[in-house]
Amino acid sequence: MRGVAAAALVLGLLAAAPALTDRTAVLNWLFLVLLHVGIAQSWNLLAGFGGQVNLGHAAFFGLGAVVARVLWLGGMGVPWALLGGVAAAGAAGLVIGAPSLRLRGAYFAIGTLALAEILRITFANAMPNVSALTAAQLGAYTLAPRYYLALLLAAGATAAAWGFSTSRFGLGLAAIREDEDVAAAIGIPTFRQKLLALLASTVFAGLAGGVFAYYHLSFYPSFAFSPIWTFDALLITFLGGVGTVWGPVAGAAFFVLVREALALRLAELHLLIFGALFVAVVVALPGGLMQAGAALGRRRGPRARGPAPPPRPRDTSTRSPC
């Protein structure tokens, strides 16, 4: 209950942020944190809880971004444009997942990576121009609606992760992650479980892409398919704690804060620092920031001690003389 109350308090503060501050820089930073929470949680739903490593997450993010952007600039309302992007990402997930999830080993990771590269090259050739807003759209641009969409994305993806961690469906995914053969032997429909987890992952990735497209004034469509979106999600999840509910949240806040601070001072060198940081975390703290926080809490917490034993009574009896 304490965790739920704390989450509700944080959510309330974030919802009130646009009214509490008029500093655009603060809202922009919060927006980036929330966007990266959504991206990382969407990757965590499949790879963290189900053990299916997705190296082409950028494909679903990019599809959501480009489709939502084209529909929105074409005159469609923002909610319908976002829904179109989500549908495109989910359909692509089902298409790539239906054959590849039946295979074992690294085939799924290779398939998703190939899909992301194919889409990146295709959109770079088909849509080489910068996607920019019109003068009227620039004049009507406000940050608050974009911020609330990012908050909705982060809250929804985190709620899905919490549902995975507490539900029977999530327990089945955990069993598949630990040993798929044993999970199948005890009656878990492994393929269906993995496919549903992939669908949830791609839906939130597509929504994150749509929020990104609605936020930016201009960008190259091929940039939405850049591998950076895959590896940012992977890095954030491992930094916070893979397969946990709050790990991607903590990892996203840490990642964005450190990245923005380093990028302003060290330019491209910050990528090398993040690479070294990632290796250090994987080696020293496989559980990420959540493991470090739990260890620190146990170290500072009061030690469980039992009641002190009662004092032994002194022997006051007198010995009779022989």
What percentage of the chain has pLDDT greater than the value 90? 50
The confidence score (pLDDT) of residue 297 equals: 66
What percentage of the chain has pLDDT greater than the value 70? 85
- Which residues touch 111 (CB under 8 Å, ≥6 apart)? 56, 96, 99, 100
pLDDT band at 301 (very low <50, low <70, confident <90, very high): low
The helix, strand and coil proportions of the chain, stated in percent and rounded to the nearest 5, come to 75, 0, 25
Among 157, 159, 189, 162, CA closest to 175: 189
Kindly report the pTM of this predicted structure.
0.87
The confidence score (pLDDT) of residue 259 equals: 81
CA 273 to each of CA 100, 227, 268, 294: distance values in angstroms, whole numbers, following the listed order:
34, 18, 10, 25
Q: Which of 73-87, 215-229, 283-297 has the lowest mean pLDDT?
A: 283-297
The confidence score (pLDDT) of residue 137 equals: 81
The confidence score (pLDDT) of residue 5 equals: 79
Q: In the predicted model, what is the mean pLDDT of residues 194-201?
A: 95
Q: In the predicted model, what is the mean pLDDT of residues 30-58?
A: 94
Please report the domains of the chain, with CATH numbers, ordered by start residue. Answer: 34-224 (1.10.3470.10)
The confidence score (pLDDT) of residue 193 equals: 94
The confidence score (pLDDT) of residue 306 equals: 46
3-state secondary structure of 318: coil
Q: In the predicted model, what is the mean pLDDT of residues 161-189?
A: 92
**pLDDT tops 60 at residue 176:** yes
- How is residue 242 annotated by DSSP? T
> Taking all residues of the chain, what is their mean pLDDT, rounded to a whole number?
85
Question: 135 or 88: which carries more pLDDT confidence?
Answer: 88
C-alpha span between 187 and 317 (Å, rounded): 72
The confidence score (pLDDT) of residue 97 equals: 87
- Which residues touch 287 (CB under 8 Å, ≥6 apart)? 241, 244, 294
What is the tens place of the pLDDT at every residue in 245-283? 999 999 999 889 888 777 666 666 666 777 787 777 777
The confidence score (pLDDT) of residue 322 equals: 41
The confidence score (pLDDT) of residue 164 equals: 93
Do 243 and 43 form a contact (C-beta atoms < 8 A)?
no
The confidence score (pLDDT) of residue 133 equals: 82
pLDDT band at 321 (very low <50, low <70, confident <90, very high): very low
Q: In the predicted model, what is the mean pLDDT of residues 233-255?
A: 91
**pLDDT tops 50 at residue 320:** no
Q: How many CA atoms lie within 13 A of 41 on its CB side?
A: 32
pLDDT band at 285 (very low <50, low <70, confident <90, very high): confident
The confidence score (pLDDT) of residue 294 equals: 66
The confidence score (pLDDT) of residue 45 equals: 95
* Unique residue bearing structure tokens 């989500």: 86
Q: In the predicted model, what is the mean pLDDT of residues 99-111?
A: 82
Do 117 and 59 form a contact (C-beta atoms < 8 A)?
no
3-state secondary structure of 227: coil
Return the ∠ at Cα 314 (arms to 309 and 320), rounded to 5°: 150
